[in-house]
Every structure is written in C-alpha cells, then in structure tokens.
Structure 1
Amino acid sequence: MQTLNTPLKRTTVAVWLFTQLLATGSAHADERESLEQLRATTTNLIELLVQEGVLSKQKADTLLQKAAADAKASQEAHQASQQAGLSDDVKNEVNKAMDEKTVRVQYIPQHVKQAMREEIEHNVMEKLNYKAGERLGVPEWIDRISFHGDIRLRGQADRFADENEDFVELNDDLTRSMNLNNSSEERRRARVRARLAADVHINDWLSGGLQFVTGLLNTPVTPNQTEGMSQGKYQFALDRAFLQAKPAEWATVTGGRFANPFMYTDMLWDPDLAFDGVTATFTPKINDRLTSFTTVGAFPLEEVESSSLNKAKDKWLYSVQTGLKWTAPNKSSVKMALAYHDFKNVEGQLNTVGLNDFDGTAPAWRQRGNNTFDINTNNSGTPGQGTIIGLASKFELINFMAQVDLMNFDPVHVTFTGDYVKNIGFNQNEVLQRTGNLYKKENEGYNFRVDVGNSSFLGPYVQNVNAHEWQVSLGYKYLEADAVMDGFTDSNFRLGGTDAKGWYVYSNYAIDKNAWISGRYMSADTISGKPFSVDVLLIDLNARF
C-alpha cells in the first residue's frame, strides 16, 4: 500500500474515496464493513473541513448530493438492464460501465484502520489550524483563550420607612455610625453592570483568567454603575487576575484575585466580592455517593506600612472550610460545610494622646451595622484632629451551612438552604477595655431559603440558560450587628451591612437562550439600633455571551 506523504493529500484521497463509495453500485459482502467505516470517517472529515472554513457548506452539500445521485442512478441502470431482458451485449456494456464506477477495497485489519484514522485526523487538524492562522492572520496562542461576559440592565427603587431616624443622627452616633447619605427620601435609579472575562489555558495543569467589570473603584462589593450622561464615562476596572494550578484531579491551587472559593450564601459574602491571596481546594472522592471538599486560604485585606509612627498592622483573613456532599441515585443531593474565618487586625485601636499612631486600624471600606467607636477620642480636643471610625469587635467567625437539593421533579429542583454564623471573636470585656464603651453582645446570624426551578439559576453565578427556564425563591435573614463584618456582606439587603432582619423574594425567567429577566424584593428592618428600615426592589434584564 502506497504511503500518503502529506496531510492535504490524505484529505483529498479521503474526500474522493467517499464520493466513489457513495457512487458504488455493488461490493463484496466481506468488504461492506470496511466501506461503511471509511464512509463514516470521510463524512466526518468533510464536516470538519466545513467547520474550519476550508470547504463551504454549499459545496459540501453539492458534493454529497451528487455522489448520492450517481450511486442511485448506477443502481437503477443495473436493475433496469436485468429486468428488461436486454441482450447479452447490452448487459455487458452496462456491467462494464458499472465496473468502472465500482471501487474494490482489500480487507484492512481493525487496528490498522484505527491507526490510519487517528493519523489522518491529526494531520488534517494540524494543516487546518495552520491554514486558519494564515487566512485569519491570528497567532496560534489565540486557540488557548476563550472570552465570555454578560450585561445587566437594572431598575432599582429604594423605599424608606416613615419611622426612620434622620441620616445625620444615624451617622453621628459613634457607637454605630451608619455611613448614610439618606434615610427618608425614596430613590430610583437606572443601573448597569458589564463584565468581560478571558479564560486562559496555559498547559495541562495550569490555567488562568482575567475579568474587567464596571462599578466604583472604592467598593469591593458591587459592580453596578448608576446611569447618568452628566457623569461622563463609566469606569471599567480589572476585577479578576489569577493563575490556577491543578497538580492532581482532586486538588486545585489558585493565586491572585479570583471568585469566592467557598460554599456560602450572601449572609457572609456579597456575590460580587472578589478574594485576593492564595487558596487550595481538595475534593477527594470517598465512594460513588460521597465526596468530601476542603478549602484553605490566606487573603490580604489591607496592607499597612508600619513604622515607629504608624503602629497599625496588615489586615488579613485566614480561612478553612470542610464539608461533605452525598448524592442519591436520582441525583438528589445533601451538602454540608463547616467554616472558620479569622480576620486579623481589623478591630480599631485608640490613638495615643498627641499622635495618630493607630489611624491605620480604621477600615478602608465598610457599609453599616457593626458596632463602632472613635479611635481618635484621645485627641478630640486638639485642633485639626477629627473623628476616625474604627470597629469595636474582633471578628472570628464559625459558619455552618447545609443544602438539600431534591430532584424528584426533574428537571425542576427544590432546594432548601440553611446558614448559621457566630462571631466567637466578640468579647464584651475586651471591647470595653479597648474602646471605653460597653456594647451588647450581638454576634449571631442565620439565613433560610427555599428555591424552586431549574438548576441554571442555582448558586451565586447563573450558568447557561435556555428559553423558558425559571426559578422562584423565598427566604428570611437575621443578622445581628457584629455577627459578620458589615463591609463584605450583601450590598442590597437593607442597602448593605448588618443589624438587619427581614424577608426576601427572588424570581428568574429566561425569555430566550442566555437572556433572562429577574426580580428581587427585600424588606429589611433594624434589629437593635436606631430605626432604619428599607424596602428594595430590583428589576433586571440580563444577557450572557
């Protein structure tokens, strides 16, 4: 058998062979299997040529139709000559013509056919990629990058209760400074969120990613940009930049700035919050039904340049979460996780008289709800020394979370999620010694939620959705003042922060593939602080690409 020297020749021969096979009117019985396998192989190659742009779809269809028509005509002519009782001379001429159309293929062992198929496909792909690069003028590495993103248009309405305290009074209470600009006037906004991300495949064990997003540069929890022509251009900033290594099938190590690596709800973490640092996740499989997962991580919150005049220290978060997932034969599942989150150096420290040596202990970002105090109290009578708000409590969180996902009504999921958190870092006597204030112990929170609908909308990130998929959710949240750090929890419930309780209802409906509308209504009240109740309505149009 003569060797094919180039991928292009192999492609040409494969296409030619396929057309001849379709046109063949007869073949020996022991050749039928080889002919059918070669027919399938060359059909796949023609489809591949169309996908890569080497052969147009129209030309490919014409080629296949002509080959099929020739085969049918040859068969009909052969049958007609036999049924019409033609003379031997005429039959001989017909058979001679049929023999010219017939291809005889010798028997080829199965392992040889498989090797030929793999070699042909490999060489054709190499040639097609090379040609694509020449034709499009793009480098080879472009094949290792995939882009995706989404756009969300939002209408938001914030309605405040008549009983709310004036926002000036809420801000001036230094034991729980609320960080507000409004507490009484209804506010309506048109908002937009846009995200553009690139996933990078570097090699078999290393990958990475980048993501740009809209939003204000001084907040880590929301990418929403309020619309308004007078404000000029939207800000578009880098929100993800990470490398991810997979040393084993059950182990992943990620470093840089990346999405939340934990199992969580928005009671602890806002869904848009990015994590900086390094994390490792281990997911060993115990058996066919039971899988374990453990995530550990170290995350810098704020770098402080300490000195003899600046005694504040770097703020860090150290976390570990471990859990189990059990899956039933019908794909229903139960998932439980226990987490420990230790925030280092986030509590405020009083400045020394005449110095600003602990200014850096004030948080760079906060929302509202945590107990606070003025860390500059010792210098309050000094000209030019203003109020500096610090957090009263340490934060050392124990979080337990459980989720039951029922698939009895597949493809509709019925999911129950429960979440409990306790800040064991709160110590009333320690807070009193550090701040001079006696704060009530309010360090617990819980959240319960029921979701009914398609799995595309489960979790904090919406996956690919199909037309008419849907989901509805109902939940209740209770989050005391120092249960979690108010700067990182959900930014929508009571407009962000802690010391909040109330109900919420969510809904999603896909109007087409990767396009859906969603609505959220959250009604939240104050637990123990001065009155500040807010109802928030969000109506979104989402598009994913």
Structure 2
Amino acid sequence: MNYKLRSLVAASLTGALMLGVAQQASADSTTDIVNALVAKGVLTEEEGALLTKGREMESVSQAKAMKKASKLKVSDAIDNAELYGDIRVRVEQRNGEDVAGKEQDRTRDRYKLTLGVKTESGNFYTDLALAMGQHGRSDNATFGSASGGSNGSNTKEAAYIKRAMVGYKATDWLALEAGRVANPLYTTQMVWDSDLTFEGLVEKANFKVGDNKFFLTGVQSQYLGDTRKYGGTATTADSISNWIMAFQAGAEVPLADGVKGKAALTYTTYSNNDRAGKFVPAIGSATTLGTNVVGTNNLRTIEIPAELNFSTSGPLSYSLFGDYVKNLDGNDRRDAAVAGISGAANKAKLDSNDDSAWLLGVGINYKAGPKVAKGDWSAKLWYQDVGVYAVDPNAVDSDFMDSKVNMKGVVLKTQYNLQENVFINFAAGHATNKNDKISTAGVAGDLGYNLKSYDLYQLDLTYRF
C-alpha cells in the first residue's frame, strides 16, 4: 500500500476516532477496525499502535473531565465531595405516670434538620455535619418554643456541630478517625442512643476471609470533657480526664442459603470512677429520680449484639435480632448506691442485683428491587429489659424509654417509602418500671418522673437529600 493511501486511511480513521470520543461503542468499533487493517497489512503495527494509543489517551482525558464536572467543587485538592442531610417533621405524644399516681400527657409537633458534607482527598476523608439541638441525644426542636420561653418571639433554633471528623485510610482494611465521630460500634439503642457521637479516636479494621466478614473497632472517647477531683480545698486540684474506652470484635458470616448471621463482643470501661460522684437512685416510693443519677462509677460492661437475616427469592426478608449487656462491676455499683442511702430499711430496698440488660426482636422488610424505591416498607418489634445498674444512664435512648434505666417494655417501629428519599415512620412503645423498689433513674428527659408506666407514639415525615 503506497504512502498516500496509507495517509488517507490514517486521516479517515483519525476522524472516526475524534467522533468516537462521545460514544464508547463507536470507540470500540474503531479499535476493532484498526486491528483488522493491521492484520490485512493496510497499516503497519506501529501506525495501528499510534492510533490506538491516541484513542486511549482521549478516553482517559474524557473520564477525568466527566469526574471533575460531576463532583461537588470544594478545592483542587479534594477528589470527591458529597453534600447530604435530611429534614424531619414529627408529631409526638408521651404519656407517663409516676409511682405516686401523678400523670403527664405531652403532645408536641417537632422538627429536625441535619446538613453535612463528606470529602475525600487521597487517603484522607472527612465528615462535617450540623444539626439542631445542643443535647447529644436529641436533635429535635419543638414548634412554638423559644429560647426565652416566650412563645411567638420568633426565636430561631441554633445549629450545632454534630460531627467534625478527619479520617485516614492506612490500608484497604484499616482506617483511623479523630474528632467528633459518629458512633462506630455495632450496637442497639438500648445501650447507645442513635443520635450520640464519640469525641476522641477510633480505629476500624474490616477484612474478609472467603465469604466471611470480620471487623475490629477501638474507641477512646473523652466523656463530657474534663472533670476535676478536689482534695481538701478548691485551690488544691488534680485534673483528671474521664474517658470511655471500648473494644469490639465481630463477624458477619453466611450460615446457609439465604441466611446470614452477625454478632460482636464489646468491652467498655469508664476511666474515672469519681466523675460526678456515685450513682444513687431513689427508693421506689419516692417521686424523685434519685440523689445522683448521672454518675458513671463502676461501669465495666460486656455487650453481645447479634442478628440473623433471612432472605427469600421474592421482595421479603426477615430478621431476628438481640442484645445482651452485663456490667462486670454491677455489685460495686449497687454497693456504692447503697452507701449513699440513709436508713437500714432503705438500704435493703436497694440491695438488688439489677446489673444486666437484654433485648430481643423480630423484623420484616419489603424491598422490590436492588435500590430503595417507592412502596418499600419495613417493621421491627422488640422487647427490652434494662437493670438499673447495667448501663450508662446518660447514654440510653431518649425516646424509648425516656432516657431512663430500670425500665422494661415493648417497641414497634415501621417505615413506608413514599419515594426513594421520602418516607413515613410510625413508632409506638409501652414500658413499666422493672424493679419497683428502685426509681427509674436517669437523665430527667422529657418526663422528669420516677415512672411507673410510660407510653410513646411518634409519626414522622422525612425528606433526605
């Protein structure tokens, strides 16, 4: 083939390559044509390789351009950024009766806003989120409320830092995180309210062996800031930091066709036994919660959350889940509470071994396709029983059971998707005091009572973006 004909063919193919930049199928066909012409001797191997290399460089440049055009622009150093958040509107009713027969019926309309951004840059990543509500276990604001207590003053709710985390992917299986971090533990709301975050360091290892997934998590979180222990006078102080330290090991494994199991073992300890004094609940007939219901002394727990998930050939799947907690220092926590009570008769009422908590539930999920879509729904029903000395009363769910321990009861939660990112939730729960000799101690919550019974109903509309 003479030089002019080769040049003509090369020019024609170059035009085809330029047109193929916009269509991958055309590009693949062009590569096939080049290979065929080389095989027939129309083009030399060097000419064919030159044309193919040019097309590959065009494809790489196009992919980079599309990536830059599609990402949220923050700075040239950021590889990817994702804006996320949700707006939720809630109608809620709480009913409670204390041990003296006093009742409270609170019906509230509430709303919540969360706005965050996640970024990636090389091996580093971040999560920054703002949310309403200055208390860690609730991001809600109530219709009509104002900071000065004067309804109608048009006071706007403030936004607070929900998360401020910097992470580092040390390897493909190990990540390190620091700052205000979302709870990384596999757990339940019986132990940790879902709104809570940790402040400190987190180490996360995730790896696979065959079809088995394993995870290891370490948490070192400073708890409610520094606390000071004074010896003698206020001018002689030893500054003692209070820490929560948690270590978790777990696995997710296939057990049979359509059946997967997941379980973990978590050890949690609190470093400062004197933070906020000793935990002392009230005697059961008292209407108060106790002398000191926020103490974290003598808390060293073993937690075992677990679940079984059953898939079917259709859109339905099922689950069986549970959680068990044992405070290894429960007897010491009880003895410290007894020491804080006067009178032998009252001390005897506190002499109870309520150092464990457990939860057991079932779930059903309907999902028509691989992605969440309109018409999908789910429901969970569980029973939980929480001893007064079993867990940290500052960390339990603020909804069920109103931020309190020494409670037992049932919870139902359902969800229906109006569309992919808009869904309705309905939740209901009923509880009673577990040990009527001891108060339902804990943070005052929305009903500041030593409760005898408690009911909660919630209806939510959530728009996620």
**TM-score > 0.5, shorter chain as reference:** yes
* Cα separation, partners in 2 of 1:469 and 1:34, compared to 1, 3 Å: closer
* Residue 88 (structure 2) pairs with residue 152 (structure 1): yes
* Cα separation, partners in 2 of 1:533 and 1:409, compared to 1, 3 Å: farther
Q: Which residue of 2 aligns with 1:195?
A: 114
Matched residue SS, 2:130: strand
Once residues 187 and 106 of structure 2 are traced to their aligned partners in structure 1, the CA distance between those partners, rounded to angstroms, is 30
Displacement of 1:227 in angstroms is 1.7
Displacement of 1:304 in angstroms is 2.4
Once residues 74 and 269 of structure 2 are traced to their aligned partners in structure 1, the CA distance between those partners, rounded to angstroms, is 48
Q: Which residue of 2 aligns with 1:245?
A: 168
Matched residue type, 2:361? R
In the alignment, which of 302, 316, 319 is matched to residue 415 of structure 1? Answer: 319
Displacement of 1:245 in angstroms is 1.2
* Cα separation, partners in 2 of 1:277 and 1:454, compared to 1, 3 Å: farther
CA offsets, 1:444-469, max 9 Å, x none?
1100111100479xxxxxx9731111
* Residue 430 (structure 2) pairs with residue 523 (structure 1): yes
Once residues 139 and 276 of structure 1 are traced to their aligned partners in structure 2, the CA distance between those partners, rounded to angstroms, is 27
Once residues 193 and 407 of structure 1 are traced to their aligned partners in structure 2, the CA distance between those partners, rounded to angstroms, is 34
Once residues 33 and 163 of structure 2 are traced to their aligned partners in structure 1, the CA distance between those partners, rounded to angstroms, is 48
Q: Is the radius of gyration larger for structure 1 or structure 2?
A: 1
CA offsets, 1:272-318, max 9 Å, x none?
10111111122232x32222211112110021255653457321111
Matched residue SS, 1:492: coil
Q: Which residue of 2 aligns with 1:224?
A: 140
Displacement of 1:412 in angstroms is 2.3
Structure 1: where are the runs of 5+ without partners?
3-9, 24-31, 40-104, 167-182, 349-360, 364-369, 374-386, 457-462
Asked if 1 retains the 8 angstrom alpha-carbon contact of 2:331 and 2:355, the reply is: no
Once residues 377 and 260 of structure 2 are traced to their aligned partners in structure 1, the CA distance between those partners, rounded to angstroms, is 20
Q: Which residue of 2 aligns with 1:450?
A: 362
1:264-343 matches, within 5 Å, as 264-285=187-208, 287-301=209-223, 302-305=225-228, 309=234, 310=237, 313-328=240-255, 330=257, 332-343=259-270
Q: Which residue of 2 aligns with 1:483?
A: 390
Q: Which residue of 1 aligns with 2:288?
A: none
In the alignment, which of 407, 414, 418 is matched to residue 511 of structure 1? Answer: 418
Once residues 407 and 518 of structure 1 are traced to their aligned partners in structure 2, the CA distance between those partners, rounded to angstroms, is 23
* Cα separation, partners in 2 of 1:488 and 1:114, compared to 1, 3 Å: farther
In the alignment, which of 102, 120, 124 is matched to residue 206 of structure 1? Answer: 124
Matched residue type, 1:119? M
* Cα separation, partners in 2 of 1:37 and 1:422, compared to 1, 3 Å: same
Asked if 2 retains the 8 angstrom alpha-carbon contact of 1:454 and 1:470, the reply is: yes
1:172-191 matches, within 5 Å, as 184-191=103-110
Matched residue type, 1:408? T
Matched residue SS, 1:487: coil
Name whichever structure is richer in helix by fraction.
1
Asked if 2 retains the 8 angstrom alpha-carbon contact of 1:372 and 1:391, the reply is: no
After alignment, is 141-150 or 239-248 more displaced? 141-150
Displacement of 1:328 in angstroms is 4.9
Once residues 346 and 243 of structure 1 are traced to their aligned partners in structure 2, the CA distance between those partners, rounded to angstroms, is 30
Once residues 325 and 481 of structure 1 are traced to their aligned partners in structure 2, the CA distance between those partners, rounded to angstroms, is 31
In the alignment, which of 227, 234, 240 is matched to residue 157 of structure 2? Answer: 234
Once residues 433 and 192 of structure 1 are traced to their aligned partners in structure 2, the CA distance between those partners, rounded to angstroms, is 41
CA offsets, 1:395-451, max 9 Å, x none?
111111211011125432211111110111123475168535643221111001111
* Residue 442 (structure 2) pairs with residue 533 (structure 1): no
Matched residue SS, 1:485: coil
In the alignment, which of 424, 437, 442 is matched to residue 328 of structure 2? Answer: 424
* Cα separation, partners in 2 of 1:396 and 1:464, compared to 1, 3 Å: farther
CA offsets, 1:10-39, max 9 Å, x none?
9987454689xx99xxxxxxxx98448589
Displacement of 1:249 in angstroms is 1.5
Asked if 1 retains the 8 angstrom alpha-carbon contact of 2:387 and 2:405, the reply is: yes
Displacement of 1:510 in angstroms is 0.2
Q: Give the TM-score normalised by the residue count of structure 2.
A: 0.76
Displacement of 1:132 in angstroms is 9.6
Asked if 1 retains the 8 angstrom alpha-carbon contact of 2:90 and 2:110, the reply is: yes
Name whichever structure is richer in strand by fraction.
2
Structure 2: where are the runs of 5+ without partners?
1-5, 8-12, 35-41, 145-151, 283-290, 440-449
Asked if 1 retains the 8 angstrom alpha-carbon contact of 2:130 and 2:163, the reply is: yes
Asked if 1 retains the 8 angstrom alpha-carbon contact of 2:281 and 2:337, the reply is: no
Once residues 262 and 500 of structure 1 are traced to their aligned partners in structure 2, the CA distance between those partners, rounded to angstroms, is 23
* Residue 34 (structure 2) pairs with residue 116 (structure 1): no
CA offsets, 1:115-153, max 9 Å, x none?
3333102234556788999xx998535663211111111
Matched residue SS, 2:58: helix
* Cα separation, partners in 2 of 1:111 and 1:501, compared to 1, 3 Å: farther
Q: Which residue of 1 aligns with 2:100?
A: 165
RMSD: 3.7
Q: Which residue of 1 aligns with 2:182?
A: 259
Percent of paired sites with the same residue: 21
Once residues 16 and 138 of structure 2 are traced to their aligned partners in structure 1, the CA distance between those partners, rounded to angstroms, is 58
